[in-house]
Amino acid sequence: MNDRSGRHEKTLISEQDKTAFQQLVQEHYRFVFGVCYSMLVNVHDAEDATQETMIKGFLKRGSLKDPEQFRPWIQRVARNLCIDWLRRRKVQKPPVTDDPPIQSVQDSHAQQGLEQAIKRLPAELRVPLLMYYFDSQSAKSIAEHLNISHSGACQRLRLARQQLHRMLTERDRI
């Protein structure tokens, strides 16, 4: 962050003005969304977590000792909030299904293999892949959310598919 933007953030935070803080929210929304999405891997949850992060940020802005450090501070708020969300998610019990036991085990094994392969992808490939296939986002929407070009989003999707294919093919050989 350059010195000018640091002073700008310091001014906005110290004004104790909702409008000024709203400007900071607009400037950092995509960044916070990216943090939340990379942890929650669900667009809707990430949007909710981003909004909750911004509300917490506004309410706790007095705890920010150095306003020039707003970006890492709000990132920490977002990460902590997402960790809490993930803990709550983990506590929930999986739904009971009526699938035949053998088919259920086979489907479960394939699902686990796919989930493990997706988790092994680097974040810059995993996030667009999940947005595209699990949240039905277009490449254009992915590009906007991640603040990259449309062709960059398409390239990341292509690379993610290639790496997944390679990982799953190697897994099936074993």
DSSP string of 27-74?
A: HHHHHHHHHHHHHH--HHHHHHHHHHHHHHHHHTGGG-S-GGGHHHHH
Are the beta carbons of 138 and 146 closer than 8 angstroms?
no
Are the beta carbons of 72 and 89 closer than 8 angstroms?
no
pLDDT digits (tens, 9 = 90+) for 24-45: 888 899 999 988 988 888 888 9
What is the SS3 assignment for 97? coil
Instruction: Report the pLDDT value the prediction gives residue 66, as an integer from 0 to 100.
Output: 84
Q: For residue 2, what pLDDT band results from cuts at 50, 70 and 90? A: very low
Surface-to-core class of residue 25, CB atoms within 10 Å of its CB (0-12 exposed, 13-18 middle, 19+ buried) = buried
Q: Region 68-93: what's the mean pLDDT?
A: 84
Instruction: Report the pLDDT value the prediction gives residue 13, as an integer from 0 to 100.
Output: 57
* Mean pLDDT value across the chain: 79
Instruction: Report the pLDDT value the prediction gives residue 10, as an integer from 0 to 100.
Output: 56
Which has the minimum average pLDDT: 25-34, 47-56, 102-111, 157-166? 102-111
**Whole-angstrom distance, CA of residue 40 vs CA of residue 140:** 21
Global pTM exceeds 0.75: no
**100 has pLDDT over 70:** no
Go through the domains of the chain in sequence order and give each one's CATH number: 3-91 (1.10.1740.10), 103-173 (1.10.10.10)
Q: What are phi and psi of 121, to 5 degrees?
A: -65, 145
